[in-house]
Amino acid sequence: MTDLNAFITGLPKAELHLHIEGSLEPELMFALAERNGIAIPYASVEEVRAAYAFSNLQDFLDIYYAGAAVLQTRADFHDLAAAYFARAAADGVTHAEIMFDPQTHTARGIAFGDVIEGLMSAQAEAHQRYGMTTQLILCFLRHLSEDEAFDTLAQAEPWLDRITAVGLDSSEVGHPPAKFARVFVAARAKGLKLTLHAGEEGPPAYVYEALDVIEADRIDHGNRSLEDAVLVERLRDAQMTLTVCPLSNLKLCVVDDLAEHPIDRMLAAGLKATINSDDPAYFGGYVGENYRAVAAARGLSRDDLATLARNSFTGAFLPPDEIARHLETLDAYLAAHPS
Ligand code: HPA
Ligand code: ZN
Q: DSSP secondary-structure letter at 12?
A: -
Domain that holds residue 11: 2-336
- C-beta of 248 in contact with ligand 1 (< 6 A): yes
Whether residue 12 contacts residue 308, with contact meaning beta carbons closer than 8 Å, is answered with no
Separation CA 187–CA 172 (nearest Å): 20
Confidence of residue 339 (pLDDT cuts 50, 70, 90): confident
Separation CA 265–CA 269 (nearest Å): 6
With a cut of 60, say whether residue 316 has pLDDT above it: yes
Percent of the chain with pLDDT over 70: 99
* Catalytic status, residue 200: yes
Q: Beta strands of 114-260 (E only): which ranges?
A: 133-141, 165-169, 193-198, 218-221, 241-244
Confidence of residue 2 (pLDDT cuts 50, 70, 90): low
How far are the Cα atoms of 40, 118, 150, 163, 186 from residue 157, in angstroms, in the given order? 33, 17, 11, 10, 12
- State pLDDT tens for residues 77-113: 999 999 999 999 999 999 999 999 999 999 999 999 9
Separation CA 292–CA 298 (nearest Å): 10
- C-beta of 91 in contact with ligand 1 (< 6 A): no
With a cut of 70, say whether residue 249 has pLDDT above it: yes
CA 169 to ligand 1 centroid distance, Å: 5
Residue 335's CB is within 10 A of a number of other CB atoms, namely: 8
Predicted TM-score of the model (pTM): 0.98
Burial of residue 191, with CB atoms counted within 10 A of its CB: 0-12 exposed, 13-18 middle, 19 or more buried: exposed
CA 202 to ligand 2 centroid distance, Å: 13
Give the total number of structural domains in the chain.
Answer: 1
Average pLDDT of the chain?
97
Residue 280: CATH number of its domain: 3.20.20.140
